Structure 1
């Protein structure tokens, strides 16, 4: 169990502290929803969570096999619903694996990414599309 403590700072901004580490992040409402858009919005963090979870799960598998995953990237595009209620309408993620990985290794990493806890948690609630590239 992990505890994260959040506090409203005013001006549509919030701060959050990760209990175990003390690490802090801030959020701001996006410009299209009355905020300044000066940092991640709460819904941006959902897309960020998906992309970093995919990379982390692949990293676990890569380390287990002695493969180098450094340089892998994930770019996520979040689309909000055009009408109410305001919600995430879709997440698209472009994942680029290092070119040195063999096709067999890439296939293993793709399968592992499909088991990412964030993806599993969002499945059925938010449409998600993963695009895979190497090089």
Structure 2
């Protein structure tokens, strides 16, 4: 994939166009920071990237093991701090429909922990991934 170029439109709004398929993503600053708040904020997108990555990596590991994870969800909880404004914590609660034995669950949990987005975010913003039992 080619580099992503983010364009600032003004009024605290940016957009990025996917270089392969032309899909456009709009980012707005939140209303509490005088943005429009009509789209995802950059920190919302970071949270969504984390959740999507966790599920994708788990699905890849599941596929190898013959497990289908359709219907799985990752709920990402983001806490913002001020001075400086930043994400202070991210939590991911994963819900996978069905029952898995201990070995299958450990495989999926290890995959979630190996998510590349999770790995790069191992900075001063601890990320907890929680398995949510049915």
1:4-83 mapped onto 2 (5 Å cutoff): 4-81=4-81, 83=82
Which TM-score applies when normalising by structure 2? 0.92
- For structure 1, which runs of at least 5 residues remain unmatched after alignment? none
Q: CA deviation at 1:31?
A: 1.3
Are 1:96 and 1:134, in contact at CA under 8 Å, matched by a contact in 2? yes
Structure 1 position 101, deviation (Å): 2.9
Shift of 1:49: 0.8
Displacement of 1:60 after TM fit? 0.6
Paired residue secondary structure (2:123): coil
Counterparts of 2:39 and 2:77, CA distance in 1: 16
Stretches of structure 2 that go unaligned for 5 or more consecutive residues are none
Equivalenced residue count is 134
Partner deviation per Cα, 1:86-127 (whole Å, 9 max, x = no partner): 111111111111223333212210011111000100002312
| Distance in 1 between residues matched to 2:113 and 2:128, nearest whole Å | 11
Is the aligned partner of 1:92 residue 2:91?
yes
1:134 counterpart SS class: coil
CA RMSD, 1 decimal: 1.4
The 4+ residue runs of structure 1 with deviation greater than 4 A are none
Which position in structure 2 is the counterpart of 1:115?
Answer: 114
